[in-house]
Structure 1
Amino acid sequence: MASMPLPRDVQLPTSTFLATIDASAPGLVKGLYLTGSLSFGEFFPECSDVDFVAVLAQRPDSAAVEALSAAHAVVRQQHPRPFFDGVHLVRDDLAKPPEQCPDLPCTQNGAFEEAGQLGVNPVTWHELARHAVTVRGPVLTEAEVWTDDDALRAFTHGNLAGYWAGVVDDLVKSPEDAAQEWAAGWCVLGVSRLHHLLATGVLTSKSGGGRHALTAFESRWHPIIHEALRVRETPGAPSAYAEAPERRGQETTEFTAMVVEAGLALGASRG
């Protein structure tokens, strides 16, 4: 995806970051690309983050890392939400599998890390190659960014087997957390998004995962899927579970477990 008009809540942190880093380290940031929900044309101010990949002119030295940290501190102070989350790399990194990247400066939930691997994964690379919103720099193409559909599928399968299987255990152990609105939005749409990739071979957003779930799974799951979409897209709308949060928690837990199992059954490879 090329350049697009940005929502105000997205334009503010991106422009603040670029103006600040350009003032302190001119020429350092050559490209800024948005991934995540924005790359699929979605942004919901109450729950979306602004996920980015910044392409630097060269591998940053200590002075450049300090400048990046200071620029993100300004963003955090002036625009604390939505979170401005992402990674800072060089163009050569994009031509290689993400596991070959060194530790990179990155941010998550407003916290800057001088060297880490946050966001360094096949999903980010494939979103960059196929969906990224360009804020600064040339539009990226699959000729420039590493992609491997088999690796993306294997990563997604592993995410279900590892992280999301652990989330299911947590939901079972903490029914009071499972009953919360955020759990429905995060879990139901999160696993549905991964199932969509394994079932179709195509990346989608969390909302896209929810819409996929409405056709992929039995109608008895529709209420909790609609609840998850409401939490994400129209959080101020009335909840069908307002008088029954325990039922929401039970259905969130059961649906998440079911989709994890269904996704794992699809296999880590297309063969």
Structure 2
Amino acid sequence: MDLMLPKDAAFAIDSYLRAADRLLPGAITACAVGGSIALDAYRPGRSDIDLAAIVSDEWRGHRGLMARLRLLHLSQLPRLAVRAARGRGVSACCNTVFVWESEAGQPVTRIRPIASHVGEIFDPHGAFDVNPVIWKELVDGGISVRGDDVSTWGLDPEPDGLRDWVARNLDEYWAPLARSVGSGKRRLSASEVEWCLLGPARMHHTLVTGKIISKEAAGRYAADAFPVHAPIIKVALARVRHDTIPSQPPREYWRTLTAEAMQTMLAEARRSHPPA
């Protein structure tokens, strides 16, 4: 296990890979950690762990593969339950995408992911995180926790298509979400404000600069770039930092302010790079 990893992340990954070796002997030939760790933004006790696992082609056609991957996902529950009981929350959860060894070097948008799991959700049909943004995270800062260094994997994040992919993601996912937020009635939680603002902020930054940044860095960027929306962005920042949520603006205005900030970021993104 790489000594650069935070202690709780190293423990979680070691536990996860030992479970993988019991359930799928010889299947995971390489594994790397990306996400907040790759972006040097990991917060012990708060952040999850994003993994990309390479699976041996010898497991193709194995009838028990999907069931075993589901069990691997569930294998984290006892450790997470202990953490929760000790007041540490359920962070340090491994969120993993699985790709075949023979496909890992293909352009990322051509890879057919085997499966993935994020939090409590297991997807037996694909993996959203097999995309140009996540692959760039891995290429730029991914840390190998099994197998050779990530730089030797031959990953192709399709850099020439990164901005087009981000523009489509903003148009296909974040724009409908912004409309939904704007038309909703119930009050938003701080976690919903965080998701709705820091996601588009990260995408906007990547569209403008071509670089990938963490949620917290995106919040700081957005507050500077769109100062009129800084008060509601500070709510999102407080949530991601686990700081005290500001008393201003009042919660009854969060939904309207969040929708307005999202629309501003989306409009600026379209001006800088219209979706293809």
- TM-score, length of structure 2 as denominator length: 0.85
SS of residue paired to 1:197: helix
1:20 corresponding residue in structure 2: 19
**Cα displacement (A) at 1:268:** 4.8
What is the alpha-carbon root mean square deviation over aligned residues? Answer: 2.5
**Cα displacement (A) at 1:40:** 0.6
2:134 corresponding residue in structure 1: 124
The answer to which of 159-168 and 19-28 deviates more is 19-28
1:76 corresponding residue in structure 2: 77
**Cα displacement (A) at 1:146:** 0.3
Is 1:213 the counterpart of 2:212? The answer is: no
**Cα displacement (A) at 1:137:** 2.0
Say if 1:94 and 1:125, in contact at 8 Å, map to a contact too: no
SS of residue paired to 1:92: coil
Is 1:105 the counterpart of 2:115? The answer is: yes
Q: Cα deviations across residues 146-186 of structure 1 (Å, max 9, x unaligned)?
A: 03223111110011111000111111121424x32112211
Q: Which amino acid aligns with 2:40?
A: G
C-alpha distance 142-20 of structure 1, shift in aligned 2 (>3 A): closer
C-alpha distance 70-269 of structure 1, shift in aligned 2 (>3 A): closer
Is 1:199 the counterpart of 2:208? The answer is: yes
SS of residue paired to 2:75: helix
CA–CA distance in 1 between the matches of 2:58 and 2:171? 34
CA–CA distance in 2 between the matches of 1:44 and 1:114? 29
- TM-score, length of structure 1 as denominator length: 0.87
1:257 corresponding residue in structure 2: 263
Is 1:32 the counterpart of 2:31? The answer is: yes
1:233 corresponding residue in structure 2: 241
Say if 1:210 and 1:225, in contact at 8 Å, map to a contact too: yes
The answer to which of 38-47 and 51-60 deviates more is 38-47
CA–CA distance in 2 between the matches of 1:247 and 1:183? 13
C-alpha distance 7-258 of structure 1, shift in aligned 2 (>3 A): farther
**Cα displacement (A) at 1:7:** 4.3
Say if 2:168 and 2:275, in contact at 8 Å, map to a contact too: no
Is 1:222 the counterpart of 2:230? The answer is: yes
SS of residue paired to 1:252: helix
2:151 corresponding residue in structure 1: 141
Q: Cα deviations across residues 123-163 of structure 1 (Å, max 9, x unaligned)?
A: 22211211212222222128711032231111100111110
C-alpha distance 49-73 of structure 1, shift in aligned 2 (>3 A): same
Q: Which amino acid aligns with 2:247?
A: A
C-alpha distance 208-71 of structure 1, shift in aligned 2 (>3 A): same
Say if 1:3 and 1:135, in contact at 8 Å, map to a contact too: no
Runs (4 or more) in structure 1 with deviation over 4 Å come to none
Q: Which amino acid aligns with 2:219?
A: G
SS of residue paired to 1:226: helix
**Cα displacement (A) at 1:47:** 5.7
Q: Unaligned regions of 5+ residues in structure 2, if any?
A: 82-89
Q: Which amino acid aligns with 2:234?
A: H
1:184 corresponding residue in structure 2: 193
The answer to which of 84-93 and 185-194 deviates more is 84-93
C-alpha distance 111-190 of structure 1, shift in aligned 2 (>3 A): closer
